Chain A
Amino acid sequence: MKKMRTLFLPILVILALVISGCAVSPGSGSGNGSKKQTVKIAFIGPLTGGNSRIGLGGRNSARLAVYDANHNKNNKYHYELVEYDDENTTQAGNQVALKASSDPSVIGGIAHYGSVVALATVDTYHKAGFPTMIWGAVHPDITLGNDYKEIFRVPGTQIDQNKQAAEFVTKLGFKKVGVLYDTTDYGRGHFKYFKENLQKLGGQIVAEMPVQPDQQDLNAELTKIQAKKPDLIWFAGLAPEGVRVKKQMDAMNIKTQFMGVSGLVNEEYNSALGAEGSEGSLAIIDGAPTSSLPGGEKFMKDYKARKYSEAPEAYGPFAYVSTDLMIQAIEKVGPDRKKVTNWLDTKVKNIDSMIGKVTFNEHGQNDMPLFTPMVSQDGKWVPYAESEYQTGKRKLPGKK
């Protein structure tokens, strides 16, 4: 019995190889008679750690795009996704960025969720002439702060995001806002644009507390903010820190409405806090909700069919579109980094994609007109407009 089991796996592997080989060979034999050339694309994101859910969702979505491309008979190339874990740290990020961009067989990259990581690696990509699509990082300077031709981004920037966040907050009637932001470029960036826009709309920042991203104790800061009696506590940072803020708010029995930035839209936030702790937290993300995207329904269906063990999360659709655009470029001009860069730089104007039209400006930045406010409801992030908070069935915890 034991022997059987040990033999079972190798036999299965051999069988799988034989079957897949059989299935592939007629396909590759068709056409001009030669096998399709394999082209490698890198996916880089946080595959482990506190932001890994987002990273794995992005990775799966990139895999889906590659799968779709490889099943498109008209495509000239066969694609292979090489996956790297940037752990959402600059240290690991720099290492894998160098690894990916220095491998000549990798034509381009779909890279990064963390803004801090992306800001640290764009130089590397530029020096290597490595066309890179940023799929989840939103700090404006990643694309706008340099003249690097190689860097492109489909999702919007913090500038646009916070303009809409400020409008959303004002519309809900929150006027006095207490702020916590992490002292990385990511947190600072968000805060800068949020403050600008909120003040334009007549809102008021009653307290602003910069905190270190690894700071454990936030009682002093929250005490100080709470003393100013804000009607909203707004936090700029990623989900793991957001969890820490919310947990300490709960422990301190602070009932004030809590809101985060796009970095908070991570199901990890809900599972770490539990439905009770996360209920009613607000945030905002790029684009429309997946379900209402032009290709959203198909994307969700295909994604489900592939049986990935993790959900696409907030940035899955962007990772998909980024990968798809990279593949389109390679199909058009061939697996050549320079040509791919040029194509992406000049030819991406009003291209249809599952998230709608994509247009890169002179900085490689997509004009992203649409953002979606989200609310945590029953332990899940849902678009605010589709939530029971919108219909009035539930009330935000901070609302009188």
Chain B
Amino acid sequence: MDMIGQQLMNAVMLGTMYSLVAIGFSLFFGTMNVIHFSHGDISMLGAFIALFFVPIITQYSVLGSVIMFIGAIVIVAVLGIFLSGLVIQPLQSSPQLYTLLATLEAGLVIREAIRLFYPGGKMSQKFPIIFPSGGFSIGGLTIRFDQLFILAIGVAVFVATVLIVNKTSLGMAIRAYSQDKEASMMMGVSESKVIAVTFALGSALAAIAGILHGTYYREVIYTMGLTSGIIGFSAATIGGLGSIWGAIVGGYLFAFIQTSVSAFVPGGSEYRDVIAFGVMILFLLFRPTGILGERQSERV
């Protein structure tokens, strides 16, 4: 029983990180109809930018961690806006294939830049432990403090994102824009502002995912965005592109599949990705709009 609980906790950790990346995919697709394939690398960038703040952490600990978190998130949010202006907005009226290629290539550039220019960038980089270590047990179930922090941050960010999108006027603008671009502009919504806010928000979430990844696994490497990107995209697709709750559900579902296969199928670790992606393909076949997705006819 505690084994199941423990594995559930493992899956929740994974799912939290996946979902944070997945939300970005969903947001970008929902508002701009683009699949931003360098989004995983943006997440990686968040972790590496956080590393620049490491000297501060060793000096001030808690305050330093907060500065690192906020600093990296803000920088990545700005970079996200910059990237959208560079590879996504100019191609808005071009065939979607162009955007797809441009974002794929942007991801490659980000990855290679870290590999080549970050000192020792080819190797894993040690990531600081920013949450208190240790933990406690309840009935055989061991819960680590860092897991609690990750979960708390994740849930807080999910709730904040949903509130921003559903309750603020900015969020209303994003939703209106995603439902009818032109009509929203006729109501006074600024297109460039919506795009900037969307990319800032999505990229900030990805940066949070990257930092949580770093501190959870205690290391980061320039290729980490590849996996998180593909999984984030898959999770957003399973959940229904365009839906924030869908992306969250998709992220956790993906993590649960992976973890259950690793944990409960003998020798399963080897096949966990095959099975998880296999399930994704089944979803695409039988429910192409995802778990919480809109009907296909409403899009397009």
Question: When the two chains form their complex, are residues A215 and B269 in contact, meaning their CB atoms are under 8 A apart?
Answer: yes
Does A27 sit at the interface, judged by CB under 8 A? Answer: no
A215 contacts across to B, CB distance below 8 A: 269
Question: When the two chains form their complex, are residues A221 and B269 in contact, meaning their CB atoms are under 8 A apart?
Answer: yes
B144 contacts across to A, CB distance below 8 A: 251-253
Does A212 sit at the interface, judged by CB under 8 A? Answer: yes
CB distance from A274 to the nearest CB of B (A): 8
Of B126, B216, B273, which is within 8 A of A272 by CB? B126
Does A293 sit at the interface, judged by CB under 8 A? Answer: no
Interface pick from B2-10, B49-57, B61-69, B240-248: B2-10
Does A208 sit at the interface, judged by CB under 8 A? Answer: yes
Say yes or no: A221-B3 contact (C-beta < 8 A), given A212-B269, A251-B146.
Answer: no
Does B270 sit at the interface, judged by CB under 8 A? Answer: yes
CA gap between A243 and B217 in the complex, in Å: 10
Residue interface mask B12-35, A partner, CB < 8 A = 1: 011000000000000000000000
CB distance from B227 to the nearest CB of A (A): 7
Of A50, A212, A216, which is within 8 A of B217 by CB? A216
CB distance from A185 to the nearest CB of B (A): 14
Closest to A180 in B: B269
Say yes or no: A224-B270 contact (C-beta < 8 A), given A219-B10, A240-B124, A244-B124.
Answer: no
A244 contacts across to B, CB distance below 8 A: 124, 217, 219
Closest to A226 in B: B6
Residue interface mask B143-165, A partner, CB < 8 A = 1: 01010000000000000000000
CB distance from A378 to the nearest CB of B (A): 18
Q: Interface of chain B, helix or strand or loop or mixed?
A: helix
Say yes or no: A251-B218 contact (C-beta < 8 A), given A210-B270, A240-B124, A268-B123.
Answer: yes
CA gap between A74 and B123 in the complex, in Å: 43
A210 contacts across to B, CB distance below 8 A: 267, 269-270
Question: When the two chains form their complex, are residues B13 and A219 in contact, meaning their CB atoms are under 8 A apart?
Answer: yes
Say yes or no: A220-B259 contact (C-beta < 8 A), given A240-B123, A244-B217.
Answer: yes
Closest to B259 in A: A220
A252 contacts across to B, CB distance below 8 A: 142, 144
**Pairs across A and B, CB under 8 Å, 8 listed:** A52-B122, A212-B269, A212-B273, A217-B258, A220-B10, A220-B259, A240-B124, A253-B135
| Chain B contact residues, CB within 8 Å of chain A | 3, 6-7, 10-11, 13-14, 122-124, 126, 133-135, 142, 144, 146, 213, 216-219, 223-224, 227, 258-259, 262-263, 267, 269-270, 273
